[in-house]
Structure 1
């Protein structure tokens, strides 16, 4: 889920009579009056919930979908007894300032960039009827908690990286200069330039996170976990 907000703020005005030969010169003039945008990057992770009311059909369908979304097929050997689902939000808000530069042109510049990433409604599903206290039950809970931990740690790790990369965008994307009658349209284009770049970084991060999640759901890992329970069950039987 993505939420995008855009605001155009009319700031102070500066008049400079010196003649400029190109829009690039006007942009340089603008940069001499403004400072780098304030960048705020925040995150949230919702309260973890547990559900025990879903049967094998639900878990299988949702797990198969998870594999399809990752471009893979769920191994036929899998019998899902647990599942973790989260919903993600990407909020982007760019406040655009405006000042007047030479020859009646206006400069549109990023005044503040707000980015928020959130995982909400994290839910662990445990197979309905799976007996609490059994090896399979404990295994399912531990496995799904590991998925949750991956999401949390990935979010904590990515936040400072995203903040730094967003701060660096000002030196790459910069500002825009236009005639007053084109200010609103130009401000929207500036907003889109920052949004598109940040969205690309967030999407790449999401892909990396899901790749890590799928490693935990590999056939080799499931076989190892199931073998562990088989050994424990055999030991208890003896």
Structure 2
């Protein structure tokens, strides 16, 4: 069983983890382990796990991916956790099921990950976007618009009378007019007019009309400034 986390990006091949033929979890040393599941290790073998602990016993954060040859034991541990009703932070946590496996004597090993980028908060998502834009592909010119690299612009997007960049990713089919946008992520089909935006994230099909701001809009959301 291979499990990847949806709110992280890793730069690595999976072949080594898969071909090693053992239960493995990707980890990395972090400065703020309270935000993550963490592991304790001895000789690279995991001996304890905690989910977002207030007082972490380690600064080795779980980044993923997870690879298990003991998929049957993982299923049993998950069922045991659910049957017990034991929750952490109001939810059943994979970390707690893995702790059950460790307590049953099942070997799970830590594999330190090199290139890892956290997307779990708006701040870290924007920081990760900056890194990914280092590999951005060339873009076309747009009418009366200044593009300040690095930027990424998806197919079918329309941009007029705007200043875009640096560090801006724009999805496919977005429409942007009369705006200044930097250090932001704009989703597919988003529409922005008269926006002066920085460190903002707009979901797919979101729309905004207004002035200066720092905005977070989810998919299909609308926002704007209608003052004087």
Normalised-by-shorter TM-score class: under 0.3
Q: TM-score, normalised by structure 2?
A: 0.24
Indicate the structure (1 or 2) with the bigger Cα radius of gyration.
1
TM-score norm. by structure 1 comes to 0.23
Q: RCO (CA 8 Å, sep 6+): is it higher in 1 or 2?
A: 1
